[in-house]
Amino acid sequence: MKSIAPVSGWMLDRIALLDEAKPGFAGHYLRASDERRQVIAAFLSANKLDRDDAGDTAEFLMRVDHRSILHRAFGRVPPGLRAALRRSGSQPHEPAYYRQLFDLMSHGDRHLIKAIWQSAKLDPERLTIITGVPADLCDSRILTKIKDRKHATDVALSVDLLSRRGVDRAALIDALHQSDGINDAIKHWSMRMSFPPGPIPAAEGYRPIRTGIELAAIARKYRNCSRGYFSSVMVGTHAFGEFRCEGREVLISFDKTDGMWIVDGVYTFRNFDVDAGISRAAYAFAARQGVPDRRPDRSDKAVEALRRLGRFHGDWGF
């Protein structure tokens, strides 16, 4: 025997009124299939329930088939509406859900109708996801991997960012179709996007790191944590460049503070000590390009002495 799922919300009041006018209606509804429950809910969402006609309405809903109920509710029954209601679960949804579903199945774009047809389960959030993502993401091979509305927004924004940063959108979408995990696929493809420009363009003896793939290669080459800066480089608050001098190479790390680029450090393999000569050359190269060193100028010993004595960061009262 099929278990009886309880009902709550606006439908409970309607069921009570109909059962009062036609005893047995509540039992009929509670024992009904998921599809019939949703068909009745769709009817009641689209029609004002009059107490004087409640008995006739209950009799109608208990007696006629699903298609007739939907035709009375909306005037027509678009292909796929009954199947969509069948996949909408046992609990009634808010009244607006049924009108939205009917409108989409009747007049929606083809990709929306197809996505609804192919959805294993439907509810208001799923409809919001289907109608909210771009058309090329509105595909069951992608939608089934999207967990909720926030996830859908993140996926859409990420795909848009990657395409604006030079990633082939069509190839990315195809990869999302075939992927097991949508997050992992986006993470993998994010390595191909171009980073925002750093402070110094390419020049003789200097190569800016421009993509995630290049950043990963540099991290492997120098065996350091530069790959961990991916998020900062991606948003343009950090940058890296490889500097070559006298046959030796070092990695220059740049940081953007208060809108100004500065040299954050110069590094070599495994962050070992950098040769003093090539370190000076790297800092000097950056300075010639208008990028200063993070370290303050401590050449004036008198100023340094006053700084140590004064500690100019506390009480300014005279």
Q: Which residues contact 153 (CB under 8 A, 6 or more apart)?
A: 132
For domain 194-318, give the fold: Aminopeptidase (3.40.630)
Q: Tokens 């961990």 sit at which residue? A: 228
Enumerate the H helices of 197-264 as residue ranges: 212-222, 230-235
pLDDT top residue among 190 and 305: 190
* pLDDT at res. 317: 46
Binned at pLDDT 50, 70 and 90, residue 302 comes out as: low
pLDDT of residue 177: 97
d(CA 104, CA 113): 7
Is pLDDT at 206 greater than 50 in this prediction?
A: yes
Place of tokens 């068909």: 39
Has residue 296 got a pLDDT over 60? Answer: no
Q: Could you tell me the pLDDT band of residue 300, with boundaries at 50, 70 and 90?
A: low
Global pTM reads 0.80
Q: Is the pLDDT of residue 248 over 60?
A: yes
Long-range pairs for 166-169 at CB < 8 Å and ≥24 separation?
166/192, 166/193, 166/194, 167/192, 167/193, 169/136
Please give the distance of CA 133 from its chain centroid, rounded to a whole number.
10
Between helix 149-164 and helix 124-132 the angle, nearest 10°, is: 10
For the segment 44-53, what is each residue's pLDDT rounded down to a tens digit? 999 999 899 9
From the CB of residue 189, how many other CB atoms can be counted at a distance below 10 Å? 20
Q: Answer for the pair 119, 87: CB distance below 8 angstroms, yes or no.
A: yes
* Size (the chain), residues: 318
> Which regions of the chain carry the CATH code 3.40.630?
194-318
